[in-house]
Structure 1
């Protein structure tokens, strides 16, 4: 995957510069200790124009992540939103994945930095997990205990956990990993939240041990529009494997169905599931096709 070339422009500390000419420091906490905050955002080519989906919510979460771990955030989000749209224009991108990241100035102690940088880049990227139902395994790695960190913050260092889980899953022949929490209840995928369907209702792990996904919140909003009941609760492995169907959701993954969990096959056809309805409704939403009722 090539993320940039000699013509690619990024936004760095108030200026648009070529990616090949941009520089960073090798003595910062972000590189050495993983203390950086980031977001994953998608832009879609709609019939109206190129739209960045829920960009305000993403930058608000970026600011909140920084505040939680003591990273300064001196920027105005309205300005960053304008700069992000300008970045897409400069790179002639219509459908794109956007990555803003806040990272430290040179600072090698274990105290939060006083000065920081911001970089925003973008590239063309398809659905992160593809468009076919997934073979998923329950990972031997757990999500971090919420008493050990701020699980609601999207912090770079947290994703070592995700890399370990995904790498293990791929080595064992699966498409993706599903992680449990410290109490052996279902948490989330390595980079996506999970919903399961049972008896015409959707269930998803309650907040507390998972990232509060913006796509997760969007799915819940869609369910209200479509009169689908969503229950947020602790879900154990037995409930997971006895479900009728399941799906992951996230900005990178969008909405993608799960075919198997370990050796358990979800026998409900994906096309008959609530997840399939949500998948289509979500696509209509991001493309600004607002007549949800037509897809039911």
Structure 2
């Protein structure tokens, strides 16, 4: 996939510049050690114009991620929001994926960054995991122990783990992976959180060993609005393989139904599942359709 062309503009340290002419320093900790933090944000074309879904929450999490790994964050979030909308306008994007990245200045040591840059780019991106229900395998890779790295931070280096898990899954003929934590409990997908359905209730792993997804929080809020019982608890692989249905959620993923985990096929048809109700309601929410809470 080509993410930019000769006309693409990105935002770098307070200025808009041509993406094709932008360079990055090869002596930086971000390139060598994965010492950077980032966000993934979506913009949607709505009847109210182009709207960026939960943009403030994303930039607040970006700031928190920087703080958790001792990176400075000297930028005003209100201004970043303003510049992000300007970036979409300059690139004539209405439905887009937005990637802010905070990265370190040249420094080949292992001490915390004192000088950082921020880059924001955007491109058109459809359904990240496709439009079909997913075949998923339990990965041989585990999520990192939260005592080794702050799991609640979106740190670039943490995503090597995600690349390994997804690559393994695809080599085995699956669409995506599901990782466990160091205790053998269900954690999350390489780039998404998971919910399972059993007897009309939804279950999802608690925070602690997973990323606190903004879409995950949105799903939990939709459950409250729709009066769907939601339980946060540690889940085992056995729980997965006795569930009625399941889905992934994330900013890039949105709401993606899962057809099977390993050899286990979920018995409830996706269109009849609680997840499908959440999927339809979430789409109404991001597109700012009225009365989304009753469109099920």
TM-score range (shorter-chain normalised) is: over 0.9
Structure 1 residues 20 and 293, CA, compared in 2 at 3 Å: closer, same or farther? Answer: closer
Where 1:86 maps in the other structure, the secondary structure is helix
1:294 Cα deviation (Å)? 3.9
Task: Write the distance in 2 (CA, Å) between the matches of 1:293 and 1:7.
Answer: 40
Where 2:191 maps in the other structure, the secondary structure is coil
Task: Write the distance in 2 (CA, Å) between the matches of 1:228 and 1:100.
Answer: 34
1:293 Cα deviation (Å)? 4.4
Task: Write the distance in 1 (CA, Å) between the matches of 2:23 and 2:16.
Answer: 13
Task: Write the distance in 2 (CA, Å) between the matches of 1:187 and 1:229.
Answer: 20
Task: Write the distance in 1 (CA, Å) between the matches of 2:161 and 2:293.
Answer: 39
Q: In the alignment, which residue of structure 1 is the partner of 2:196?
A: 196
Task: Write the distance in 1 (CA, Å) between the matches of 2:252 and 2:293.
Answer: 25
Q: In the alignment, which residue of structure 2 is the partner of 1:67?
A: 67
Q: Deviations over 1:59-85 (max 9, x none)?
A: 000000000000010100100000000
Q: In the alignment, which residue of structure 2 is the partner of 1:180?
A: 180
1:31 Cα deviation (Å)? 0.2
Q: In the alignment, which residue of structure 1 is the partner of 2:80?
A: 80
Q: Deviations over 1:181-209 (max 9, x none)?
A: 00110000000000000011000000000
Q: In the alignment, which residue of structure 2 is the partner of 1:275?
A: 275
Q: In the alignment, which residue of structure 2 is the partner of 1:28?
A: 28
Where 1:247 maps in the other structure, the secondary structure is strand
Task: Write the distance in 2 (CA, Å) between the matches of 1:292 and 1:118.
Answer: 35
Q: In the alignment, which residue of structure 1 is the partner of 2:213?
A: 213
Residue 264 of structure 2 corresponds to residue 264 of structure 1: yes
Where 2:127 maps in the other structure, the secondary structure is coil
Q: In the alignment, which residue of structure 2 is the partner of 1:101?
A: 101
1:127 Cα deviation (Å)? 1.2
Task: Write the distance in 2 (CA, Å) between the matches of 1:295 and 1:47.
Answer: 17
Where 2:101 maps in the other structure, the secondary structure is strand
Q: Deviations over 1:38-68 (max 9, x none)?
A: 0000000000110000000000000000000
How many aligned residue pairs are there? 296
Structure 1 residues 293 and 60, CA, compared in 2 at 3 Å: closer, same or farther? Answer: closer
Q: Output the TM-score relative to the length of structure 2.
A: 0.99
Residue 33 of structure 2 corresponds to residue 45 of structure 1: no
Q: In the alignment, which residue of structure 2 is the partner of 1:132?
A: 132
> Which blocks of at least 5 consecutive residues in structure 1 are unaligned?
none
Q: In the alignment, which residue of structure 2 is the partner of 1:163?
A: 163
Q: In the alignment, which residue of structure 2 is the partner of 1:113?
A: 113
Structure 1 residues 151 and 293, CA, compared in 2 at 3 Å: closer, same or farther? Answer: closer
Give the aligned CA root-mean-square deviation in angstroms. 0.6
Task: Write the distance in 1 (CA, Å) between the matches of 2:290 and 2:61.
Answer: 26
1:131 Cα deviation (Å)? 1.1
1:290 Cα deviation (Å)? 3.0
Q: Output the TM-score relative to the length of structure 1.
A: 0.99
Task: Write the distance in 2 (CA, Å) between the matches of 1:292 and 1:81.
Answer: 25
1:110 Cα deviation (Å)? 0.6
Q: In the alignment, which residue of structure 2 is the partner of 1:146?
A: 146
Where 1:132 maps in the other structure, the secondary structure is coil
Task: Write the distance in 2 (CA, Å) between the matches of 1:147 and 1:290.
Answer: 44
Where 1:162 maps in the other structure, the secondary structure is helix
Task: Write the distance in 2 (CA, Å) between the matches of 1:214 and 1:62.
Answer: 12
1:245 Cα deviation (Å)? 0.2
Task: Write the distance in 1 (CA, Å) between the matches of 2:2 and 2:223.
Answer: 36
Runs of 4+ in 1 over 3 A off after TM superposition: none
